Each structure stands twice: as C-alpha cells, then as structure tokens.
C-alpha cells in the first residue's frame, strides 16, 4: 500500500509548538483540579480555641466552683449557729418558757429602737452626765479573785433609780445586794445581777416604798462599765427594780429600753477579769460571783 505524502513527511517540532503543548497540559490539569474540587467539597477544620480563651474559661469555672463552696459554707455556718443556739436555750425553754418569750421580745424591741435611733457617730458625741454619788461593790469569785467596782451614779438624771441602788448597796432597809450573785454572764456583752431573792433573774425587790417606772431612756451605753437597770420599757414591776447589768464595752442593744444610771469609775481591769470567766451553755457563771459588801459616798464637786 502506498504511503501518502503527509505520512512520509516527518513532524517538525519548533519552540512555539512546545510552548503551546505545555499551556494545554497546564490548562487540562487546572480543569481536572477544578472538577475534583466541585465534586468533593472542602471539609471545615475544627476550630481550636486560643490558649488565652481556654485559660479564661478554666478561671471562670474555678470561680463559679469557689462561689458555690462559699455559699455552702455560709449556709452550713448559719445552720450550725441556729442549732447551737437552740441547744443552749432548749433547757431554759422547758423550765422558764415565759422568760424566754420576754427575752426574745426584748431583743426585737431593742433592734427596732436601734435602727430608729440616731447614728453611732451622733451617739459618740453625747457626754456622760455628771456623777452625784459613788457606790463601791466588793465582789468575790468562787475559787478566784476578789475585787471592787466603783460606780459613779447619775443622780440628777435618774434620782429614783440611784436612790434605790444606793439603799440596796448599803442595806439601808435591812436587805440588798450583799450575798447576792451575778446570774448571767455574756462575754463581749454584759454581766447581770441584782436578783436578791432567787439569784436567777426571776425576782428582786425594790428598796423604795413604792414601785417606780423607768425614769430616763435617753442615756446611751457609751463605754465599758455602763451600769443600767433590767426591765422592759415602762416597766414598773417592783420585783425587777433591784436587777442591774454592767456592759463589757460600748453597746447599742439596749439603748432606749433600759435606764443607764451610772458607769464604772474604778475597777475596769477586774471587770475584764469577770468577762473571761467560764460559763455554762445557759450563760451562767460556772463559779459563783458574789457581792460581798457595798458602800456609798457623795461625789465631790
């Protein structure tokens, strides 16, 4: 079979021919890549959080965990406190339910009067009234020290209360504080006595011929050693007219409900010693604190 001229003629390859072929090959490859891209969509890469963001998230979790722990501890502390208070007053509730009810009412009234009264800064500006009388009580602790408390009394502000206290301290009527005990001691707050009959806060006796009402409820508990009467507002029951308490520091709890009629002038160190004595769950001193003797003198000047 005879060959044609075109078959016999060799192909002439030039530089332009090679360049054209290369371009065609590149275009074919690009087209194949484009088709494969359309056929298989790109997979999204998993977002990797930044290191700083991870740290902040951990800190936030830790803070939330700590807040929950704090709230739990606070709740546990409140429950524990309520339980301890209940265990302390439960025996007293069984023996003297009326006294417990009166005490709770007394605290509620005191709190209401405190929030309705002047600010603490204004109270601190009030000066002590002038001292007209001085009474010295000699006090003995069972198995401990014996000391004296010298009280300055405000006879001009509370004349009846002061007269009653003086007569009871000196046994002018044949009875009084000598031999009586301090029956309640609350560290950080006050020590209470003057129940010259039962020595437990349920009785007492006035040295005046007739019962008298609270005289002056304006004076405040401004310092350690404040001397005040025991009783609710406008109380005129003579069985409470002999009871009194002494504060261990400034206090606003009884402002407006008790008559402040004096303060400790000498013996604050001995008063601090009394505050450190051991007490029972009912806040009664473990060792008897007894008034051994009392004396009176008019204040000079």
**Per-domain residue ranges for the chain?**
133-298
pLDDT value for 240? 61
pLDDT value for 30? 52
* Average pLDDT per 10 consecutive residues for the chain, totaling 301 residues: 50 54 56 52 52 68 78 75 70 70 68 52 63 96 94 93 94 94 93 92 84 82 90 55 91 86 95 94 94 93 61
The backbone region for 44, taken as left when phi is positive above 0, alpha when psi lies in -120 to 50, beta otherwise, is beta
Distance CA 138, CA 88 (A): 31
Span 133-298: which CATH code? 2.40.100.10
pLDDT value for 33? 52
pLDDT tens by residue, 223-240:
999 999 876 555 555 556
pLDDT value for 284? 94
From the CB of residue 260, how many other CB atoms can be counted at a distance below 10 Å?
25
Residues 130/116, Cβ–Cβ less than 8 Å: no
pLDDT tens by residue, 109-161:
666 655 554 444 444 555 788 999 999 999 999 999 999 999 999 999 999 99
pLDDT value for 120? 47
Tokens of 41: 């969509």
Q: Is the pTM of this model over 0.75?
A: no
pLDDT value for 289? 96
Please name which of 242, 240, 258 lies closest in space to residue 194, comparing C-alpha atoms.
Answer: 242
């Amino acid at each position: 079979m005879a060959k044609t001229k075109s078959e016999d003629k060799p192909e002439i390859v030039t530089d332009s021919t090679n360049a054209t072929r290369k371009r065609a090959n590149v275009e074919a490859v690009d087209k194949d890549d484009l088709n494969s891209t359309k056929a298989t969509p790109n997979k999204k890469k998993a977002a990797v959080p930044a290191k700083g963001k991870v740290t902040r998230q951990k800190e936030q979790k830790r803070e939330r965990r700590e807040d929950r722990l704090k709230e739990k501890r606070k709740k546990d502390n409140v429950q524990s406190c309520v339980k301890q208070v209940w265990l302390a007053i439960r025996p007293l509730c069984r023996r003297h339910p009326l006294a417990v009810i009166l005490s709770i009412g007394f605290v509620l009234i005191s709190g209401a009067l405190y929030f309705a009264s002047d600010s603490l800064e204004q109270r601190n500006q009030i000066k002590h009234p002038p001292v007209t009388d001085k009474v010295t009580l000699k006090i003995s602790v069972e198995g401990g020290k014996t000391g004296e408390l010298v009280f300055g009394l405000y006879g001009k502000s509370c004349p009846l209360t002061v007269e009653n206290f003086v007569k009871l301290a000196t046994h002018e009527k044949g009875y009084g504080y000598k031999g009586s005990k301090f029956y309640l001691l609350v560290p950080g707050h006050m020590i209470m006595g003057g129940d010259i009959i039962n020595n437990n806060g349920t009785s007492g006796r006035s040295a005046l011929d007739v019962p008298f009402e609270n005289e002056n409820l304006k004076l405040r508990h401004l310092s350690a050693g404040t001397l005040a009467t025991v009783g609710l507002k406008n109380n005129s029951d003579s069985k409470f007219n002999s009871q009194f308490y002494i504060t261990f520091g400034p206090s606003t709890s009884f402002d407006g409900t008790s008559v402040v009629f004096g303060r400790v002038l000498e013996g604050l160190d001995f008063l601090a010693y009394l505050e450190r004595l051991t007490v029972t769950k009912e806040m009664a001193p473990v060792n008897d604190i007894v008034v051994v003797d009392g004396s009176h003198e008019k204040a000079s000047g």
